[in-house]
């Protein structure tokens, strides 16, 4: 998952739309287990969001990504048993991207990511602080053009999140 996530972002930056779509499609199928058509729709909307975001000169212009992000999260909510507000998660995701792009505000990434994880997977944001810190590290490394280190950090973050979600599932049973 980590490799796909980093490759998707790298493809978006390099404006390789077809490669971006393929990576995003695989993410939606493998991580969220979406049906093929839903994964394709989510991938297309995510790709449009990323491309609009990366083409934008400033944060006000980056808002053009928001409708695509919202449609992506609407698809996720419809296709999974998650209970979150797609508009809120979309706004948080856009905020996450803005923080990652702003070297002066990257210290706020873990809090934003914790909120996103709590909304997507349930629980409180504080429960996800360690996972969020690991994802934030990957975001910072990607933003600073260190793709290999970003892949390693993202792999660690996904592993940590997976273990955390498995432990929560075991605690409930």
**Long-range contact pairs involving 98-104 (C-beta distance under 8 Å, separation at least 24):** 98/59, 98/62, 99/139, 100/139, 100/140, 100/142, 100/143, 101/143, 103/143
Query: Which has the minimum average pLDDT: 4-13, 32-41, 99-108, 152-161?
Result: 4-13
The long-range contacts involving 5-8, CB below 8 angstroms and separated by at least 24 positions, are 5/138, 5/154, 5/158, 6/138, 6/142, 6/147, 6/150, 6/151, 6/154, 8/50
Domain ranges of the chain: 2-172
Q: What is the pTM of this model?
A: 0.89
Say what the pLDDT of residue 16 is: 85
Segment 84-105, tens digit of pLDDT: 999 999 999 999 999 998 989 9
């Amino acid at each position: 998952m980590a490799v796909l996530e980093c490759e998707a972002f790298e493809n978006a930056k390099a404006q390789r739309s077809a490669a971006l779509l393929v990576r995003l499609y695989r993410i939606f199928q493998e991580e969220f287990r979406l049906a093929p058509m839903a994964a394709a729709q989510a991938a297309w909307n995510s790709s449009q969001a990323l491309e609009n975001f990366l083409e934008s000169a400033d944060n006000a212009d980056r808002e053009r990504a928001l409708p695509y992000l919202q449609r992506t999260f609407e698809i996720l909510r419809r296709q999974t048993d998650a209970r979150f507000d797609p508009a809120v998660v979309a706004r948080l995701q856009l905020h996450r991207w803005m923080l990652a792009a702003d070297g002066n505000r990257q210290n706020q990434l873990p809090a934003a990511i914790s909120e996103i994880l709590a909304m997507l997977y349930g629980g409180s944001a504080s429960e996800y602080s360690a996972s969020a810190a690991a994802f934030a590290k990957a975001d910072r490394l990607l933003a600073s053009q260190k793709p290999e280190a970003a892949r390693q950090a993202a792999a660690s973050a996904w592993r940590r999140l997976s273990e955390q979600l498995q432990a929560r599932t075991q605690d409930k049973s």
